[in-house]
Every structure is written in structure tokens, then in C-alpha cells.
Chain A
Amino acid sequence: MVDVDIAYLDSRNWEEEAMLERMRWLRQHDPVRWSEKDGLWIISHFADVVTASKDQATFTSGLGVRPGNDVKIGLIDEEEPRHGQLRGMINKGFSPRMVKILEETFRKITDEAIDAVATKGECEFVTDIAVPLPLRLIAAMIGIREGDYDKFHHWSDTMIAADGNMDDPETMARAGQSYLEYATYVTPIIEDRRKNPKDDLVSILARAKDSGLLKEYDEAGPAGDAVGNSDLQNDELIKLMVILMIAGNETTRNGISGGMQLLIENPEARQRLIDDASLIPNAVEEMVRIVTPVRSFGRTATCDAELGGQKIKAGQKILLLYTSANRDERQFDEPDRFDIDRDPHHLGFGIGNHFCLGANLARMEMRVAFQEILRRLPDMEYAKEGPVLKPSALVRTCAEMKLLFTPEA
């Protein structure tokens, strides 16, 4: 049997098959388990993740959602009522109306990425398709100029690398440098939108700042020493633009990679989607359920509470395992099976007040990506071996996936 007495916060322990087996054991034998090595409770049942997620008064996000990393991220670890105020405003940049406007841009981005590989008959799916699609859309939303997309990619990657590597001074220095360059780049864009508001995300954020909703933090930020520029460091608007950049990149990228993997490994389902594209939206939900791009977030008990029959003490942390909840046998029949006809209500976007702000956007991106991929390159197969996964406690990460297909004439 696989060892369940491990540190769940340690990314190195997230080798996928072993972790899925571990979660099966947890769900059956110890669904609210005290993890000695992490010093927190591990929550693996769908119902308990829902209960905790919907009860912010008892299980708050306000004391951090990445246990072991106490740096304030913003929005995602904000408490009510401020979280709701911020969200009510920022959400307008991700509403169904805005997503509809962005769809055309995204389809063009997708077709350009496919154009670049279509005649070659092979690609490295992550670098060629999964990375550029969401990256270019979020870049367009932020107002990055097309010639600067490589720079934007570099900033995004180096800042993401800081997660879980706070003890590596070189990685942190690079992240700090990127933060400064990014902040310097976006400052005039923000100023421009303040003076000439458009119907876009940055104008919404600029308005939020002018209304006094966004603040200047007074504490030093994570990369304060490396950067030494506390004005930019402490500007909440810029911090939000970093979160949106990262959240808009890693998650959808891995949703698309993981979704592609499911299509290759389930040829019958793929054929049905090729024959009938109207099935794609539901298939996308099933992809998000099985892949679960965001694997876990934490909460902190504000008072003594009970969850799944266990007593949680005030101040103790819990770790919500979305990956496990989404494969809970109590919620889904044959949970490991990719079933595109399934009633698709999953926890891939979370639930409750902190429900994924970008869910509408992510759904549109995955739908359009697979509409175009299945239309133009319907017979993608693994070149040799399957995808190379990188263990992570936060995001289900596909590092590399070499594919072959019939070249477009």
C-alpha cells in the first residue's frame, strides 16, 4: 500500500498515480485526516470541501491559502467584506459579456498558434499550443504590445517559479527583477487607461484604484530586498495585475494540456467531439474535473468547529484537496473514467465566495482551443511516450508532451 503519512504540502510528493491512490485510501478510511508532517487537516471528500468552502466565517481564506507561505497574495486570500467589494469590481473584467468580446481575439490567437505547427506534422504541445494560448490572451487583456509577448512570458515564468522556492535566493532575485520590469511596463498602461478609459480589464482596475478601493500596502513585499522599490512593490493594483497574469496562465495552460491528454487516451470520446462539436462544452467540464488544474488551497479555522465528524480547533489549518473531491466515489460514478456525458458539477473552479473569478474565461478558452484543435488537427497522437508531468502540490503541471499528426495541406 502507498504511504499516506507524507507531507502533502511538499510538491515532490505529488507524483500523480501514487497521489491518486493515496487519495482513494484517505476518502475511504480517513477523509478528514490530521497530517503530522504538515501540521494541518487533509480534507478529501467532495461534501466536506463544499461545506468548508461555503463557510468563510468558520474556515477563512483571510489567513492565507498556501499553508507554509505567509506572504499576502491579494484577492484570493482577502477576507469579507473587502473580498466581495474587490471582486464585485474586478469580476466585471471576466463576466460573460466581456468573455464574449474576448472570444474573437482568442480564436485568432489559437489559429495563429496552430498555423505555426500545422504543416510540420509534429509539435511539442505545451510550448507550441498550451503556453501561448492563454498567455497571449491575458497579455492582450493587460495591454502588452505584441512585440513584447516574449518578455511577458519570461516575466510570468520567473515570477511563477518563486512559488515554493522562497529559500532559493537566485530564483527570488530573478522574480524580483521581473516584478520590477513588469511593474515599470504596466504603469504607463494604467495611466493611459485612467485618462482614456476603454472597455477593458485595466480600465476597470484603474477605476477601482481611483475610487479608493485599492490600497497601498504598508508592509514590505516578498521581493522587497531584491527590488528595493517599495512604491511599486506596495501598489495593490500592480499586485493584482501579477495575480491575474499568473492565474490566467498556469491554470488554463494545464487545463488544455491535460484535456489534450484525455482526448488522446480516449479516442472514442474524441471521435464523438469531432463528429459533434456541440458536445465540447460538456467535455471541457469533464476535463476540468479529471485534470483539476488547481489541486489544493488552504483555509484557517476561526473558531472550534466540526468537519466530517472531526473536531477542528480554532487557529488550525485545513487543506482542501480538489483533486480528491473531484474523484470522490460518493459524488461521481466511476470517478476515474473520462465521461463526456456526465453531469458536470465539479470543484475544479472551487465553490463559495472565492469561486474562480476566471471560470467563464477559462471555459471559453478551453472550448475554443478544442474546437480549433479538433477541427484542424484531429488525429494528434503521442510521438513516443506520454506527457512528462512535473510534481506540484498547487497546479497539475504538464512539462512536455511531444505529439505527431497528419500535416495540414
Chain B
Amino acid sequence: MKVKVDWDLCEANAVCMDVAPALYTVDDEDNFHHLVQGEQDDISGDVPGDQVDRAKEAVRLCPRQALAIIE
């Protein structure tokens, strides 16, 4: 499972970072980053099995619905 961020929607509420600190971070300039990196900046690498529930929870809770599960 991979997660894609829509940069146009993300406004750095940082809810994802609270829910899944191992997967997402919002840096000092308010930019979102996947911590499990994939080949493209906006799409994560494969989410580790023990983090799948948290990844889904972050997608569900994002206030702007800027995260989406792909594959």
C-alpha cells in the first residue's frame, strides 16, 4: 500500500504527523514529507505492515482530505 499527498490541498494542519509519526512529518517550513519515501516526492514507498492501520487512520483524519491510498 502507498499513500499519495495532494500538495494543492495540504495546508499543514499536521494531523497526519500526530496519528502516524513514523510515516509523515511537517517540517519547519510547513512542508509535508513522507518519511517512507518512494520514487516520487508525492507518493510514499510501501507502508510497512505494522503501520498500515495508522496510515489509513491518517488518510481518514486529514482535515483537507489531502492524503489518499493508492495501490
Contacts and interface: CB of A to CB of B under 8 A. Distances in A.
Contacts of A174: none
A407 B13 CA distance: 39
Contacts, number: 42
A355 B57 CA distance: 16
B11 A360 contact: no
Contacts of B63: 351-355
Given A91-B11, A359-B13, A97 B30 contact: yes
A82 B57 CA distance: 27
B28 A351 contact: no
Contacts of A91: 11-13
A355 B13 contact: yes
B30 A95 contact: yes
Interface string A95-107: 1110010000000
A222 B61 CA distance: 35
A87 interface: yes
Contacts of A352: 63, 65
Interface in A322-358: 345, 351-355
Interface of B: 11-15, 17, 19, 26, 28-30, 57, 61, 63-65
Main secondary structure of the interface of B (DSSP, over half): loop
Given A351-B63, A355-B63, A100 B11 contact: no
Interface in A55-114: 84, 87-88, 91-92, 95-97, 100
A91 B57 CA distance: 22
B11 to A, nearest CB: 5
A301 B14 CA distance: 29
Given A95-B30, A96-B30, A97-B30, A353 B14 contact: no
Given A96-B26, A97-B29, A100-B28, A345 B57 contact: yes
Nearest to B11: A91
Interface of A: 54, 84, 87-88, 91-92, 95-97, 100, 345, 351-355, 359-360
B15 A96 contact: no
Contact of A345 (B13, B17, B19, B28): B19
Question: Which of B13, B63, B64 is packed against the most chain A CB atoms within 10 Å?
Answer: B63
A87 B30 contact: no
Contacts of B30: 92, 95-97
17 contacts: A91-B12, A92-B30, A95-B11, A95-B14, A95-B26, A95-B30, A96-B26, A96-B28, A96-B30, A345-B57, A351-B61, A355-B13, A355-B63, A359-B13, A359-B15, A360-B13, A360-B14
Contacts of B64: 84, 353
Nearest to A354: B63
Nearest to B28: A97
Nearest to A92: B30
Contacts of A95: 11-12, 14, 26, 30
A353 B29 CA distance: 22
Contacts of B14: 95-96, 360
